[in-house]
Structure 1
Amino acid sequence: MLARLIVPSGVDATVLPLLAGRSLRGFCDGFIAVLLPAYLLALGFDEFAVGAISSATLIGSALATILVGFVGHRFAQRRLLMLAAVLMAATGAAFAGLTSLWPLLIVAFVGTLNPSSGDVSVFLPLEQSRLAEAATPDSRTALFARYGLAGSLSAAFGALAAAIPGWMSMHAGVSSLDAMRLMFAVYTLSGIALWALYARLPDPHPQSMSPPAPLGPSRCIVVRLAMLFSVDAFAGGLVVNALLSLWLMQRFGMTSGAAGQFFFWAGLLTTASQLAAVPLARKIGLLNTMVFTHIPSSMFLIAAAFAPSLSLTLLLLLARSALSQMDVPTRTAFVMAVVTPAERSAAASLTAVPRSLAAAIGPMLAGGLMAIGWTGAPLLACGLLKIGYDLAILAAFRQTKTLN
């Protein structure tokens, strides 16, 4: 009964481990995005170093995703997911123990830390292709909405958990730095739990799976989508949660605990928006839902860059959160709907790769702008670029027909 409440009609219940895994990773991503800048500043690094480490995480994720796209179809998805979980555990342990910049940059590059509000990791293409195979075309958007919901809701509670180090420092006699190290230990334990979860993931039924294949007839459309997605991702990389948290701390003096509370409420709004995306997409279509919810959210972000007070800034950012992620399930469903079933795994990887690579440039650039005092520039640039992306993708694909 519980499985039927979580899994929409027309979807195989074997997706439950994937949804549970997304929730666990989302929780970790939630507190990491808030604590990472505070942790790095406590280690003695500056804003540019925060941006550089954030960029390294995204570049590494992009290269790992490329590898999955080219050779992932040769290996069992379950084993690749288990390997990624081991890498997650090792990443947390390394960040808890290292204190020098270059070792941290290397671990960020090869590891699984996620400084952003979305899922930009090697887990993503592996899970997306399997989810697409487990759902009928009519239920695919609903399934991806639940997948996004699992990540955003758990990330909201993860952001709230970012207040734990502050509480421990005040009431348990633990230094702030050591308390933040303990949160990286939680990240390590979560990687171990994720390995155990994926180890129980059943093998897909051969009759329900299309043999994975490289891109063929859908290559042109996937390349066009990937190019446009890269613009959106570069813009988003300018305002990843870790840097937005840093901006709020530096401009308004927010503590990491207060920033965590803000990201908690922002995450709840994101969760609600992803639920609303499903009926809206049925009514106006996948592409229209992507575009006509994204543009207002970008306008709210631009306004936040110029807001004179903390209360108004937070209100504008919350309004942005209520709309900015409605394109996530619809975008994924759109990609899966315009390619042939056999190309889904390659399409998921090869549309994720440019996003990760482009997003990786943003944090370092934004960190540099903040370091020289141009604190609002990343928000303004992000909003303008995203509006341009929305108009471009609407013009390019408004006549495109879905295949399945």
Structure 2
Amino acid sequence: MAGEDSYPTPDTQSLEVAPRPSKLRSLVREVGLQALIEAPSDVRILCFQRVIRMVAYGQATLILTLYFTALGFSDELIGFFMSATLLGDVCISFFLTLFADSLGRRRVLILGCAMMFFSGVVFATSDNFWILLVAAIVGVISPSGAEVGPFRAVEESTLAHLVPTETRSDIYSWYALLGRVGAAVGTLSCGALVQYLQDSLGWSNVRSYRSIYIFYSSIALVKLYTSCKLSEKCELESFLIRQGQKVTEHDADEEAEDAMLLQSTEELEEALRDEVVLEEDGVSHSNKSGIRALIPTLSSRSRKTILILIPLIFLDAFGQGLVNNSWLTYYFNDKFGIKEASLGIMFFIGHACASIGALIAASTAKRLGIVQTMVLTHLPSSIILGMIPATNNLFIATVLFAFRSGTNMMDTAPRQVFISSIVLSEERTSVMGLMNVVRTLSTGIGPSITGAFAGQGNMWISFEIAMAVKVLYDVGILSFFLREKLDRS
């Protein structure tokens, strides 16, 4: 019938079915790699810098205690060196990160590269303990294998500035993972190179160790070059305006609109007299002059959170300092007689496990939440740490070490996301710098204590103390921040 002909039947052949994402694409998105691929070029430069810096740190850490032992320094003196280096780094890092947003993040990173180059040259040429100590404090030498200097705080704050909140966890996870990959490559290459120089070329221990610090300085130069390639997008808008790099018609229009809104109130008159104080989310912004203008003001909520975080971060870092990577290389070398090449392979495995753990942490955080991931990944690591001295079997000790390495840093990316999300954007660099200063300060206490225990043949005590304080940190984080509201942008 004609009526029936007026209703066309759907052509099922022409219907387009949305293609289902491939398993590979889903995996790329799940582990956060998609966010890194689509991130701005500055993000990839910062991640590259992280990789090569950790290569240098991994190499230097593997042979630091062995180098000092070859130079004839005692265990107690080695422990004092580690503590003094980290404590000295506190002052420099605190100053640079406190003023980084005002001085310019790129400038601070470039200055850090110059300091890193200086310290590497001194370590490659001097055997005087006090000169080496000054170079390690003024320059950038990592006695623990962890981050030192201003790099990490400035980079993490910049990453939070460059990427949106929804992909921040992914970027931080890859930032941590790539750092672990760099450290793994550093320890493996260092062990192999030192062993080759000693066995094949007949170099002395001291000479072979010094070659590592020459490479350390070379990496600093590469970092210096790439730091110069960072764009102005890394800087806060307020810094660019002060430098005359961010004055546009759009800015002028916004200022005109603001003036119109204030014109009918007494606030405009106060602003013209430079006496206005505006309250935003509990944070006071005032026209400060001189050096006070460089110091960021924290909101009341941020201050409360930081006052709780500081003692918890202190506990965790103190435990980390008791058994840092330099002392771990000493422990395995002293107890099991492992040589440099084998130590390099062992720590390579540990860093590889940590890299895998970082990927798992990125996926876990999306499902469990940031705080839950921080605790549930870090707590097993803390307990395993105390089990390492309990065995005299090298294989079991290595397995425990690898498992501990794989879980120890799984909380790193979630923790940085947590810290960056509970403070305002203009507070991030200074707050992250403060947290790194606290970590460095508390980490610097442990090595001297471990040095005293090692000198008495009781280094196992350091492992047990470290386990106890790290478990206390985990309990504290869970108790205070389980229901914390994140994302203040």
- TM-score over 0.5 for the pair: yes
Tell me which residue corresponds to 1:215: 298
Correspondent of 1:101 among 106, 109, 129: 129
Counting only pairs closer than 5 Å after superposition, residues 134-283 of structure 1 correspond to structure 2 as 134-163=162-191, 164-204=193-233, 213-217=296-300, 218-283=302-367
TM-score, normalised to structure 1, is 0.95
Structure 1: distance between partners of 2:44 and 2:77: 38
TM-score, normalised to structure 2, is 0.79
Corresponding residue pairs, total: 402
Structure 1: distance between partners of 2:56 and 2:473: 30
Deviation at 1:61, TM superposition (A): 2.2
Structure 2: distance between partners of 1:71 and 1:115: 25
Deviation at 1:259, TM superposition (A): 1.1
Partner of 1:8, secondary structure, is helix
Structure 2: distance between partners of 1:6 and 1:173: 48
Tell me which residue corresponds to 1:359: 443
Q: 1:96 to 1:320 in 2, by over 3 A?
A: same
Structure 2: distance between partners of 1:240 and 1:372: 18
Deviation at 1:6, TM superposition (A): 7.2
Structure 1: distance between partners of 2:170 and 2:297: 26
Tell me which residue corresponds to 1:345: 429
Tell me which residue corresponds to 2:76: 48
Asked if 1:311 corresponds to 2:395, the answer is yes
Asked if 1:291 corresponds to 2:375, the answer is yes
Q: 1:270 to 1:210 in 2, by over 3 A?
A: farther
The one-letter amino acid paired with 1:36 is L
The structure whose residues are more often helix, as a share, is 1
Structure 2: distance between partners of 1:12 and 1:40: 42
Asked if 1:58 corresponds to 2:86, the answer is yes
Segment of structure 1 superposing worse, 254-263 or 116-125: 116-125
Segment of structure 1 superposing worse, 166-175 or 68-77: 68-77
Q: Contact (CA 8 Å) 2:319, 2:465: kept in 1 or not?
A: yes
Unaligned runs of 5+ in 2: 1-31, 241-293
Q: Contact (CA 8 Å) 2:381, 2:408: kept in 1 or not?
A: yes
Deviations 1:348-397 (A, max 9, x none): 11111111100000111111110111121111111111011100111011
Q: 1:174 to 1:6 in 2, by over 3 A?
A: farther
Kindly report the root-mean-square deviation, in angstroms, between the aligned alpha carbons of the 2 structures. 2.0
Segment of structure 1 superposing worse, 136-145 or 61-70: 61-70
Partner of 1:339, secondary structure, is coil
Q: Contact (CA 8 Å) 2:377, 2:410: kept in 1 or not?
A: yes
Partner of 1:282, secondary structure, is helix
Q: Contact (CA 8 Å) 1:214, 1:346: kept in 2 or not?
A: no
Deviation at 1:216, TM superposition (A): 2.1
Deviations 1:258-277 (A, max 9, x none): 11110000000000101111
Partner of 2:137, secondary structure, is helix
Structure 1: distance between partners of 2:235 and 2:210: 44
Q: Contact (CA 8 Å) 2:350, 2:405: kept in 1 or not?
A: yes
Q: Contact (CA 8 Å) 2:165, 2:487: kept in 1 or not?
A: no
Structure 2: distance between partners of 1:178 and 1:108: 19
Asked if 1:36 corresponds to 2:64, the answer is yes
Q: Contact (CA 8 Å) 2:158, 2:234: kept in 1 or not?
A: no
Deviations 1:43-69 (A, max 9, x none): 011212221222222112221221024
Structure 2: distance between partners of 1:232 and 1:289: 16
Q: Contact (CA 8 Å) 1:215, 1:346: kept in 2 or not?
A: no
Q: Contact (CA 8 Å) 1:166, 1:176: kept in 2 or not?
A: no
Indicate the structure (1 or 2) with the bigger Cα radius of gyration: 2
Identity of aligned residues (%): 28
Q: Contact (CA 8 Å) 2:157, 2:432: kept in 1 or not?
A: yes
Structure 2: distance between partners of 1:70 and 1:38: 35
Deviations 1:196-220 (A, max 9, x none): 1101111117787899933223111
Deviation at 1:145, TM superposition (A): 0.7
The one-letter amino acid paired with 1:167 is Y
Partner of 1:173, secondary structure, is coil
